[in-house]
C-alpha cells in the first residue's frame, strides 16, 4: 500500500508527560450555541435560572446539531450574541459560577438496550468529534444497516505539533476506552476495530496494545509520523487501504472513524449519565509561562485558562484554538473553551510574525505534498479568474485545509487560505446552480 503524501513537522510535544491538572475556579462561563458542525442550538434557559454541572443550556435544533450543557453550577447571567472565531455571530449563554461545581440532580445513566437506544444516548450526550472536527457523533453513527460497518478506526494519531490531549486520553483513560470498544462491539456489531497511533508515541502504543489484549477483533496499527496522519481520509487509507470517494463518507467504504477521546466520553456518558461538560486541553506555545494539560470546564474563558497556567511570559502575538497547522486564530481572550477545543496555543511576537509572500516560482512542492493530489497553483489561478467550472473540474472540494501546501511553499504564499476561499466560492456557485 502506497503512503499518501504529507509533510514532516516538528512534534514539539513537551506536555506529553504532563498529567492533566483540574481547573474549577471560574469567574464566568460562556456557552455559544454553536459548538459543532451544523445548526446552532436553541437556548432553553433564561437569565436568573439556576444551573448545575450537566444542566441543558441549548437543545438540538435540527438533524445536524448537538445539545450543549453547563460545565459549572451557578446562575444564568444573560443571553446575548457573541462574535465567533469564524466571523459569525451566534447567541451565547453566560453563567455566573457559584464555585461549588454541583452536579445536576437529574443526572442518571441512560437506559440502553439496543442500537437505536445507543445512538439516541450518544446524541443526548452532546458529544462531537473531540479531535477538533466538531461533527455530532450521534449523527455519524446513523449508518442505517449496521452490517455496512466493516471497520471502526479509533483515531489516536494526534499528528499536529504541540497537542497532547489525546495522548493523555490514551495514557489516563484506558478503562473508558476499553468500555467504549465493548459498546461498539455490542451495539454496532463491530467486527474489526483498529486503534491507530503514530509511531512517535511509544507509551501510547504500549497502552493501546494492553487495551486490545487477546481480543482478535481489536488491533493496534502503528503509523508513520507524517502530518496530516490524523485526517480522516488519510487515516482510512493508511489503516485499510480504502479510498473514500469525492463527496462520499467513510461509511461508503464500510468505515467509521472515532477520535479516541470521543470514544472515552461515550463510555463515561453511558456509565454515569454525565454529558460532555469538560475537556482535557493542551496549553502551550512560546508565550505561555507553564505549558501543561488542563481539564477545563467547557465555557471557561481563554484568559482564565492561560492564567491557570501561569499567564504569559511574553506578550502573545497570536492565540489559536488547536494546533499551528489547522488551528483557528482567536480574536480575544474572552472567548471560551468549546467542546472541540483540544489545545490553546499562545505564540510570542517572533513566532506569530507574518511573512511576506513572494511570487510563485512554479516549483511544484505544494502539489508534491498534497495528501489528495491537488495542485494549489491551479486552484489559485481558477479562483483568481472566477472560473467556477475549473474549480469543480480540478476537484477543489477535496482540499482538507491541512496546510501542507503553505508549510512547504518557499515563496510563503497563503495557499491554504486561497483554497478555503476557492471552496467557499465554489460552494456558493454550486448552490445557486442547483
- 236 CB contacts (<8 Å, ≥6 apart)? 153, 242, 243, 244, 250, 253, 255, 257
pLDDT of residue 62: 81
Q: Is 362 left (phi over 0), alpha (psi -120 to 50) or beta?
A: left
The answer to whether the CB of 219 falls within 8 A of the CB of 113 is: no
Higher-confidence residue of 258 and 354: namely 258
Strand pairing of 343-348 and 316-321? antiparallel
- Which 3 state secondary structure label does DSSP give 193? strand
Of the chain, the percentage scoring pLDDT greater than 90 comes to 90
Q: Residue range 224-250: average pLDDT?
A: 94
Instruction: Please check the confidence at residue 349 and state whether its pLDDT lies above 90.
Output: yes
- Which 3 state secondary structure label does DSSP give 294? strand
Residue 164 lies in a domain: yes
Instruction: Please check the confidence at residue 200 and state whether its pLDDT lies above 70.
Output: yes
- 378 CB contacts (<8 Å, ≥6 apart)? 390, 394
pLDDT of residue 247: 87
Residue 387 lies in a domain: yes
The pLDDT tens digits for 134-191 are 899 999 999 888 889 999 999 999 999 999 999 999 999 999 999 999 999 999 998 8
What is the overall mean pLDDT for the chain?
95
**Same domain assignment for residues 122 and 264:** yes
Residue 104 C-alpha cell reads as: 445536576
Q: Residue range 107-135: average pLDDT?
A: 94
**Same domain assignment for residues 32 and 94:** yes
**Local confidence band at 1 (pLDDT 50, 70, 90 cut-offs):** low
pLDDT of residue 316: 96
* Closest residue by Cα to residue 261 from 413, 132, 119: 132
CATH number for the domain harbouring residue 51:
3.10.20.600
321 burial level (CB within 10 Å; 0-12, 13-18, 19+): buried
Instruction: Please check the confidence at residue 3 and state whether its pLDDT lies above 80.
Output: no
Strand pairing of 89-97 and 29-32? antiparallel
**Listed residues 272, 297, 317: the one ending a domain:** 272
**CA–CA distance, 104 with 61 (Å, rounded to integer):** 23
Q: Is 241 left (phi over 0), alpha (psi -120 to 50) or beta?
A: left
Distances (CA, A) of 76 to 26, 119, 339, 433: 14, 30, 19, 44
**CA–CA distance, 59 with 121 (Å, rounded to integer):** 14
**Same domain assignment for residues 252 and 164:** yes
**Same domain assignment for residues 247 and 333:** no
The answer to whether the CB of 281 falls within 8 A of the CB of 341 is: yes
**CA–CA distance, 249 with 255 (Å, rounded to integer):** 9
**CA–CA distance, 73 with 80 (Å, rounded to integer):** 19
Question: What pairs with residue 229 in β-bridges?
Answer: none
**Where do the DSSP E strands lie in 128-271?**
151-156, 193-198, 218-223, 255-259
**Same domain assignment for residues 150 and 201:** yes
**Local confidence band at 434 (pLDDT 50, 70, 90 cut-offs):** confident
Q: Which domain holds residue 261?
A: 115-272
Residue 80 C-alpha cell reads as: 446575548
Lowest mean pLDDT among 1-15, 103-117, 323-337: 1-15
Q: What angle do CA 260, 249, 271 make, to 5 degrees?
A: 35
Residue 5 lies in a domain: no
pLDDT of residue 214: 83
Residue 15 lies in a domain: no
pLDDT of residue 145: 85
List alpha helices for 386-414, DSSP H: 388-393, 404-408
Residue 198 lies in a domain: yes
Residue 80 lies in a domain: yes
Residue 177 C-alpha cell reads as: 476506552
What is the model's pTM?
0.95
**Same domain assignment for residues 391 and 311:** no
Beta-carbon neighbour count of residue 151 at 10 Å? 20
Interhelix angle 202-212/174-187, rounded to 10 degrees, is: 50
**Same domain assignment for residues 119 and 268:** yes
**Same domain assignment for residues 243 and 151:** yes
Residue 14 lies in a domain: no
Q: What proportions of the chain, in percent to the nearest 5, are helix, strand and coil?
A: 30, 20, 45
pLDDT of residue 374: 95
**CA–CA distance, 10 with 233 (Å, rounded to integer):** 22
- 332 CB contacts (<8 Å, ≥6 apart)? none
Domains held by the chain: number = 3
Instruction: Please check the confidence at residue 291 and state whether its pLDDT lies above 80.
Output: yes
The answer to whether the CB of 282 falls within 8 A of the CB of 293 is: yes
**Local confidence band at 131 (pLDDT 50, 70, 90 cut-offs):** confident
**Local confidence band at 2 (pLDDT 50, 70, 90 cut-offs):** low
**Same domain assignment for residues 141 and 259:** yes
Lowest mean pLDDT among 101-110, 129-138, 331-340, 423-432: 129-138
**Listed residues 245, 272, 299: the one ending a domain:** 272
**CA–CA distance, 404 with 408 (Å, rounded to integer):** 6
**Same domain assignment for residues 267 and 152:** yes
**Local confidence band at 88 (pLDDT 50, 70, 90 cut-offs):** confident
The answer to whether the CB of 193 falls within 8 A of the CB of 217 is: yes
Instruction: Please check the confidence at residue 295 and state whether its pLDDT lies above 70.
Output: yes
**Listed residues 320, 351, 382: the one ending a domain:** 351
**Same domain assignment for residues 143 and 242:** yes
Instruction: Please check the confidence at residue 352 and state whether its pLDDT lies above 90.
Output: yes
**CA–CA distance, 344 with 385 (Å, rounded to integer):** 37
**CA–CA distance, 380 with 367 (Å, rounded to integer):** 12
The pLDDT tens digits for 31-76 are 999 999 889 999 999 999 999 999 999 999 888 899 999 999 999 9
434 burial level (CB within 10 Å; 0-12, 13-18, 19+): exposed
Residue 1 lies in a domain: no
**Same domain assignment for residues 158 and 289:** no
Amino acid at each position: 500500500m502506497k503512503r499518501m503524501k504529507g509533510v514532516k513537522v516538528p512534534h514539539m510535544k513537551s506536555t506529553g508527560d504532563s498529567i492533566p491538572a483540574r481547573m474549577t475556579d471560574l469567574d464566568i462561563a460562556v456557552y455559544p450555541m454553536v459548538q459543532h458542525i451544523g445548526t446552532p442550538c436553541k437556548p432553553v434557559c433564561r437569565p436568573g435560572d439556576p444551573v448545575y454541572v450537566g444542566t441543558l443550556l441549548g437543545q438540538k435544533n435540527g438533524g445536524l446539531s448537538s445539545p450543549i450543557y453547563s460545565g459549572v453550577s451557578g446562575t444564568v447571567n444573560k443571553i446575548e450574541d457573541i462574535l465567533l472565531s469564524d466571523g459569525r455571530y451566534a447567541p451565547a449563554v453566560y453563567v455566573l459560577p457559584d464555585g461549588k461545581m454541583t452536579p445536576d440532580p437529574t443526572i442518571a445513566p441512560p437506559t440502553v438496550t439496543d442500537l437505536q437506544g445507543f445512538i439516541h444516548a450518544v446524541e443526548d450526550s452532546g458529544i462531537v468529534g473531540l479531535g477538533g472536527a466538531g461533527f455530532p457523533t450521534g449523527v455519524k453513527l446513523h449508518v442505517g444497516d449496521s452490517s455496512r460497518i466493516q471497520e471502526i478506526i479509533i483515531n489516536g494519531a494526534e499528528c499536529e505539533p504541540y497537542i497532547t490531549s489525546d495522548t493523555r486520553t490514551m495514557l489516563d483513560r484506558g478503562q473508558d476506552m476499553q468500555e467504549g470498544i465493548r459498546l461498539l462491539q455490542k451495539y454496532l456489531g463491530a467486527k474489526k476495530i483498529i486503534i491507530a497511533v503514530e509511531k512517535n508515541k511509544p507509551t501510547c502504543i504500549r497502552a493501546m496494545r494492553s487495551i486490545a489484549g487477546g481480543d482478535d477483533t481489536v488491533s493496534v496499527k502503528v503509523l508513520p509520523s507524517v502530518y496530516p496522519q490524523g485526517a480522516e481520509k488519510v487515516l482510512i487509507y493508511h489503516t485499510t487501504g480504502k479510498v473514500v470517494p469525492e463527496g462520499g463518507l467513510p461509511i461508503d467504504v464500510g468505515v467509521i472513524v472515532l477520535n479516541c477521546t470521543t470514544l472515552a466520553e461515550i463510555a463515561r456518558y453511558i456509565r454515569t449519565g454525565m454529558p460532555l461538560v469538560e475537556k482535557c486541553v493542551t496549553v502551550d506555545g512560546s508565550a505561555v509561562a507553564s505549558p501543561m494539560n488542563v481539564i477545563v470546564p467547557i465555557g471557561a474563558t481563554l484568559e482564565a485558562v492561560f492564567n491557570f497556567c501561569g499567564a504569559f511570559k511574553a506578550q502573545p502575538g497570536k492565540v489559536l484554538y488547536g494546533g499551528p497547522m489547522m488551528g483557528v486564530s482567536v480574536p480575544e481572550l474572552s472567548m471560551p473553551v468549546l467542546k472541540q477545543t483540544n489545545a490553546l496555543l499562545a505564540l510570542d511576537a517572533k513566532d506569530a510574525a507574518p511573512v511576506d509572500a513572494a511570487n510563485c516560482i512554479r516549483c511544484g512542492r505544494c502539489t508534491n505534498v498534497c495528501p489528495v493530489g491537488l495542485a494549489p497553483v491551479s486552484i489559485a489561478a481558477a479562483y483568481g479568474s472566477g472560473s467556477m467550472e475549473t474549480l469543480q473540474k480540478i476537484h477543489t472540494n477535496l482540499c482538507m485545509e491541512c496546510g501542507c501546501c503553505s508549510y512547504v511553499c518557499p515563496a510563503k504564499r497563503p495557499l491554504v487560505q486561497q483554497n478555503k476561499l476557492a471552496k467557499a466560492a465554489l460552494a456558493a456557485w454550486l448552490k445557486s446552480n442547483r
